[in-house]
Amino acid sequence: MRITLVTETYLPQVNGVSRTLEQLVRVLRAAGDQVQLVAPEYPGVRVEPPDVAVPCCHPPFYPELYLPLPPLGRVLSAIREFGPDVVHIATEATLGLAVLRGGLRRGWTLVSSFHTNFDQYGEHYRVGPLAGLIWRYLRWFHNRTRETYVPSRISMASLEARGFERLKLWPRGVDAVLFRPDRPGRSRVREALGIADDVVVIGHVSRIAAEKNVAFLGEALRHVALERPNRVRLLIVGDGPARPELENRLGSAAAFVGYRSGEDLADHYAACDLFAFASRTETFGNVVLEAMAAGLPVVAVAAGGPAETVRDGETGLLVGSEEPPSGMAERLLRLVDDAELRSRMARAARSYAEQQSWDAIMLNLRERYRVVAGGAESSI
């Protein structure tokens, strides 16, 4: 097949969407498909450019966010020349909208995917008065494609209640060979950070921003550190606009190491003993599955994708979405104090993650492409 993938976020940006799309491109090309990647050209960054590179800029209030710059007519020309069987629009901003409109006029086979919980993002960035307009736009956008791929059943149910149509489940996978508990780099990371063998390390990996519920997370972790000052160390992987606030809240109890990737990221997961995740905005939450593959019990807020991924009492512990930070702190302390419970949940988490193969998940999506392009009968 010939497949065009359109996205407003891609490597080297570090987020769940970019990493998921990287895996999609890898699997499709390995299957023999011709993939045209339409993505931003990040200023001053030396990486392999996408097939169609779109100039972009970032707003001063959020330097990690990049916005594609018009005019975008050349993008439509490049897609037309490529002649795809399917055009997958992964994001809904200026670039995605231009391709949707152009594709509808030209009769292209368009599909889309939904990645972001805009309700929760809106709360954090004070766009509540615009929420109704945003949801009408998103519903209009996705209902004009043949299918919309959603990462969790919880998210599907929420979107269906809002009038979204033709939704298909597209979950996430994990590289359980890369992310695993027995990485030799575990000792290297702990030694570099001065962490003794008998100290329990609570890890967290994400963009450090308000929409990730970092104020809640910070309060919960601060409570744990105060309760077990010589027993616990906090390891925070990631960066973002809320990092100074979180560093100030956690002080010397936490090591902030910035963004990590590849083998180095896997070593940092392996250096931990359990994983804390407080975000309520995740349609899936890739980092939760990566932590589980690394053999980490997960304590997460029971909202969005993590509520579906973490099996409460088996692979981790869930915190009710209305509970205060002390609820998360209590569950973390339970795992800090009970080594046998940590070990049992670690084994269960690893076992679950080993069953979530990126290749199988992406090949299922490829089958959906064949169906919508008219090349196969549906078997999914």
What is the average per-residue pLDDT within 46-66?
75
- Using CA atoms, how far apart are residues 112 and 143, in angstroms rounded to an integer? 9
- For the chain, the average pLDDT equals 92
117, pLDDT greater than 90: no
pLDDT range class, residue 379, cuts 50, 70, 90: very low
- Strand ranges for 190-231 from DSSP E: 200-205
Neighbours of 138 (CB within 10 A): 19
In which residue are the tokens 């960066």 written?
Answer: 239
Is the Cβ–Cβ distance between 54 and 9 less than 8 Å? no
pLDDT range class, residue 113, cuts 50, 70, 90: very high
pLDDT range class, residue 336, cuts 50, 70, 90: very high
39, pLDDT greater than 50: yes
What is the average per-residue pLDDT within 45-71?
75
380, pLDDT greater than 60: no
202, pLDDT greater than 90: yes
Say whether the peptide bond before residue 12 is cis (omega within 30 degrees of 0): yes
Domains by residue range for the chain, with CATH: 2-173+357-372 (3.40.50.2000), 185-354 (3.40.50.2000)
Please tell me which residue, 282 or 242, carries the higher pLDDT value.
242
Which CA distances in Å does 179 have to 77, 182, 268, 290, 295? Answer: 40, 9, 10, 6, 9
pLDDT of residue 331: 98
**C-alpha radius of gyration, the chain, whole number:** 21
- Ranges 47-51, 221-225, 343-347: which has the least confidence: 47-51
126, pLDDT greater than 80: no
Name the burial class of residue 206, with classes exposed (0-12), middle (13-18) and buried (19+) by CB atoms within 10 angstroms of its CB. buried
59, pLDDT greater than 90: no
250, pLDDT greater than 70: yes
121, pLDDT greater than 90: no
At 109 the three-state DSSP class reads coil
In which residue are the tokens 């896997």 written?
Answer: 266
At 151 the three-state DSSP class reads coil
Which CA distances in Å does 208 have to 14, 107, 293, 337? Answer: 12, 41, 22, 27
- Using CA atoms, how far apart are residues 97 and 103, in angstroms rounded to an integer? 10
- Using CA atoms, how far apart are residues 170 and 37, in angstroms rounded to an integer? 19
pLDDT range class, residue 118, cuts 50, 70, 90: low
Q: What percent of the chain has pLDDT over 70?
A: 92
| DSSP-based helix, strand, coil % in the chain, nearest 5 | 45, 20, 35
Write out the H or E segment, with its range, that includes residue 57.
strand 52-57
What is the average per-residue pLDDT within 332-339?
98
- Using CA atoms, how far apart are residues 90 and 66, in angstroms rounded to an integer? 15
At 249 the three-state DSSP class reads helix
Which CA distances in Å does 367 have to 86, 155, 360? Answer: 12, 22, 11
In which residue are the tokens 């998921």 written?
Answer: 20
User: Two tokens at 221?
Assistant: 């972790």
106 forms bridges with which residues in the sheet? none
DSSP 14-47: -SHHHHHHHHHHHHHHHTT-EEEEEEEE-TT--S
What is the average per-residue pLDDT within 321-337?
97
Residue type, 109: T
Q: Residues near 126 by Cβ (< 8 Å), separated by ≥ 6?
A: none
Q: Residues near 33 by Cβ (< 8 Å), separated by ≥ 6?
A: 1, 2, 3, 366
Name the burial class of residue 247, with classes exposed (0-12), middle (13-18) and buried (19+) by CB atoms within 10 angstroms of its CB. middle
Phi, psi of 61, deg, nearest 5: -80, -10
Is the Cβ–Cβ distance between 28 and 366 less than 8 Å? yes
Query: What pLDDT, in 10s, does the model give residues 127-164?
Result: 566 778 889 999 999 999 999 999 999 899 999 999 99
What is the average per-residue pLDDT within 52-61?
79
pLDDT of residue 127: 57
Give the N- to C-terminal CA distance of the chain in Å, as an integer.
Answer: 19
